[in-house]
Chain A
């Protein structure tokens, strides 16, 4: 058995602070965080609606996990730190400076729009679970060797933490004391597989100490606590004290992705209980109590978000449909002659 780990929390579901909580975000930044959480939530709703109309690719919503994503990425300095994502971290991509309109267009069938601008410290989403983690360690290690004081924040899920790549990444990170933070979003599920079938360990954070670095458990629906523990971990990494594994305990309120039907395997009572702990509710309550949020502000924020989404969608709709040449773009710096011949062949056929 692993030793019991204290679960860190600051902002209670009531919207009140736990007595003695050392809050690391001022109220105006919490307000900006709530706006980012709302953007993530509304983006999901729009993406799902568009997917049902056949105008959007497969979508994996972040619904319920907004505090885990927003709280953690806000602890980074996008001017020097990097994000290496899993796939539910829209808010982190945006915080790093990636454009919403690019995310939208890529999902609406324009893969070339997936290009992340050179100045944005973010790696592209990839689908093979946990494969990004050793890369994140190498990136952190390499940036340190290049004399930068950058930190890499990499995301993974409870399911991904069963992959060998996760364990190898942790082991290496500990050995080279890489300035990396592993943010494990334990949302209770890997598609239909519940957390208890994923690992017999009491907490997933308990793996950190096994690899020689701290493992921290935090209420993943608590924006303030997630921010505080991530800021600590980022500080440690920057100071040369090595990696941290953070287990943000949250809950997937939606489906795994738009191809999934969770009613086949979830318990409605468990879902209802999780809904009551929706991370957005408590931030709203907190800010309202501080006089920094009200219905009017909420309505204005939602309008602004919907406008941004409308504009991004309208822009994507105006983009020309990609042709066969797009299959061949960016595969090699200098494509082999045979590949160039195939490209010419594909283009000629498209014209017939």
Chain B
């Protein structure tokens, strides 16, 4: 099996999907000759042609809107937003359109569109390049929300997304794009939606995360292990559908849960997890579900982002506090 970075794994996934199904096409800004600003699609235009890897005019609303139309025409569009922060320029085509097509047409029209979008902090990007907007999209029923944290999952979830009959927002953590390599199964590797992954075992508490925060939690778990605290790390992989059972299983097993995310605290998806646990497994808990998140302020300039994002220190401290409960 090949050792791939996340960028290579995503490219491999797109190549497999395009070779396998002539209806699949990619569209977005700078994805052709350049291969996208992160080079995920590098070489794909040369391989599959400019009518299957399409550089579009600079307009997110028409990228998403046209992807809906292409899907209605029987194609399988994979749209790339240059950054998730620029989904706002096409927001009305997401929640109000993409997410509602099946309902509005009373089941006649499916829109199997995948919208890929890099996001996330830690690489000193300009404004809007880092914002974690997943909770805003989760509030758009009808759209599945996928947040891979490893190269193999990135490929496997992407292939599942492309085959899924419903629209999928596929969020890629740019900080992890080239951070490490792992074995990625060749060919049509599929990872199912709604099945969380236990990224690390541990008996004293469970850290729940998705996307780049999983990597942060794994580092925190290493540190905690040195202090004799066994922290499990649960990688949710997809927020919609949500693996509620795995979350409750962990809550019941370790009785202490800390949720970590890069989005601001208030109204973040961590609140949904905490609420679900207290509704379903309240009596199994030894203490409150804790959240480590970004502050409720706009994403700051790069120089300040370490003060804004959840840090290793903050995760470790929250975990220590949880085991004292």
Contacts and interface: CB of A to CB of B under 8 A. Distances in A.
Interface of A: 57-58, 109-111, 126-129, 131, 159-160, 162-165, 190-193, 197-199, 259, 264-265, 321-324, 326-328, 331, 336, 338-339, 342-343, 346, 349-350, 352
A111 B126 CA distance: 12
A197 B57 contact: yes
Contact of A265 (B33, B59, B128, B303): B33
A127 B127 contact: yes
Interface in B242-261: none
B203 interface: no
20 contacts: A57-B302, A109-B301, A109-B303, A110-B303, A111-B304, A127-B127, A128-B85, A162-B58, A163-B58, A163-B89, A191-B30, A192-B30, A324-B304, A339-B296, A339-B297, A342-B265, A342-B296, A342-B297, A346-B295, A349-B314
- Identify which of B58, B126, B295, B317 gathers the most chain A CB atoms within 10 Å of its CB: B58
Contacts of B317: 349
Contacts of A160: 58
Given A192-B30, A265-B33, A164 B59 contact: yes
Given A58-B125, A193-B30, A265-B33, A164 B61 contact: yes
Given A57-B302, A164-B89, A328 B34 contact: no
A225 B249 CA distance: 71
B308 interface: yes
For chain B, the bracket of interface size reads: 35 or more
Nearest to A54: B124
Interface of B: 29-30, 32-35, 37, 55-62, 85-86, 88-89, 124-129, 265-266, 295-298, 300-304, 307-308, 313-314, 317
A326 B57 contact: no
Q: Per DSSP, are chain A's interface residues mostly helix, strand or loop, or mixed? A: loop
A57 B301 contact: yes
Contacts of A126: 127
A321 B301 CA distance: 13
Contacts of A199: 57
A58 B34 CA distance: 19
Given A128-B128, A324-B308, 20 more contacts: A58-B124, A58-B125, A58-B126, A127-B129, A128-B89, A128-B127, A131-B89, A159-B57, A163-B59, A190-B29, A190-B58, A192-B30, A192-B33, A192-B34, A193-B29, A265-B34, A322-B304, A328-B295, A342-B265, A349-B314
Contacts of B124: 57-58
A264 B89 CA distance: 28
A70 to B, nearest CB: 24
Contacts of B30: 190-193
Given A57-B124, A128-B86, A323 B57 contact: no
